[in-house]
Structures are given as C-alpha cells and as structure tokens.
Amino acid sequence: MRLLLIADTHLPARARALPEQVWREVDAADVVVHAGDWVDVATLDALEARSERLIAVYGNNDGPELRERLPEVARAELGGLRLAVIHETGAAKGREVRCDALFPDTDVLVFGHSHIPWDSVAPSGLRLLNPGSPTDRRRQPYCTYQTARIARGRLADVVLHELPRRA
C-alpha cells in the first residue's frame, strides 16, 4: 500500500495550487494523508475527488467549513498498521514521550503545524512523521512531502521529497 503524506498546504494563501509533482503522487497513492491547515475547502474537495482514499484532519488555520467536515484526530487501520493523524503535537522537546502517552495504541502518527519535516521513533516504537509543507517552506530550504509504503503491517520506505523552488 502506497502512502502520500502532506500537511500545511495553506491554499491559496501560501501558493495558488498544489505543485504538479504532488498531484502525480496523489494519483499514485493508495492513501493520501493530510495533517491539516488546508485553509480552503476547494483543496479538500479536489483531494477527496482525486484520492483513492483520503485520511485528513483540520488544523489551527482551518475555519468552520473545514472543521465541520474533518476531525481533529483521525485514526485508521491500514494493512494491519494503526495510523493516527493530528495537526499539532506541541514543542519538539519531549514530543516522543508526550505522543507515546497520547497515542498508546498507534504505530504511526502523522502531524503537521511546524512546516518542519520530522521522522523519529518514540520509546514505545511509535513512529512520528511530519511531511513539512509542499507550498510554504518557511525557514526550511525546500517545500516537502513524504511518501511511504505499508507492507505486512509495517511502515517501509519512508522518503522525504524536496520540491523545486518556485521562480
């Protein structure tokens, strides 16, 4: 099972549209995961229409229309892997221990908010992933997203993809 992980799209505030490279990944993915801060409903509509399966949450910059349609926390079992998605996990310091306590029955936690890519493992074995942002790099050198696979109930081949800088 192929996953695409994105967050913090902030459309149309930070970019006019998702990059074409990301749309190609949507088409190739079995599951698209979006960890919040959509800003516009049109992006949610487009991803719902184009994704084979979408697992998504709202973020702190998402208004009432998005909050009516999306949960604060999403959970799914994918090929035997227990996935959770949330927008914000708090400060980087202590994140693994804090998330272990908040998500005890989870194998992988996808989050956003910081626009900073993250890939770590908590003491329990919980894998924490933040794909960064495909549209707003903030203080990062590149806009980013992640892909991964689920095989035999395990997460595999997690890759952070850097997008070309816009002219």
Assess contact for 2 and 149: CB atoms under 8 A.
Answer: yes
* Amino acid, res. 158: V
Does residue 167 fall inside a structural domain?
no
Provide the pLDDT for residue 122: 96
Q: Residue 74: which of 65, 62, 64, 82 has the closest Cα?
A: 82
Residues contacting residue 150 through CB under 8 Å, at least 6 positions apart: 1, 3, 78, 79, 80, 81, 156
CATH of the domain at 95: 3.60.21.10
Q: How confident is the model at residue 167 (pLDDT cuts 50, 70, 90)?
A: very low
Would you say residue 136 lies in a domain? yes
Q: What would the pLDDT profile of 106-151 be if each residue is shown by its tens digit?
A: 999 999 999 999 999 999 999 999 999 999 998 899 999 999 999 9
Residue 26 lies in a domain: yes
126 domain residue, yes or no? yes
Q: Domain span at residue 130?
A: 2-162
Q: Is 23 among the domain residues? A: yes
Helices 41-50 and 20-28 sit at what angle, rounded to 10 degrees? 40
User: Which pLDDT does position 161 carry in this prediction?
Assistant: 98
- Stronger pLDDT, 14 or 142, i.e. the higher one: 142
What is the total count of domains within the chain? 1
Q: Which of 43, 41, 45, 88 is nearest to 66 (CA)?
A: 41
154 in a domain, yes or no?
yes
Residue type, 37: D
Q: Judge whether 27 lies within some domain.
A: yes
> Which residue would you say has higher pLDDT here, 13 or 8?
8
The candidate with the shortest Cα–Cα distance to 55, out of 27, 83, 79, is 83
Q: What is the DSSP string of 6-59?
A: E----TTTT-SS--HHHHHHHHH-SEEEE-S---SHHHHHHHHHH-SSEEE---
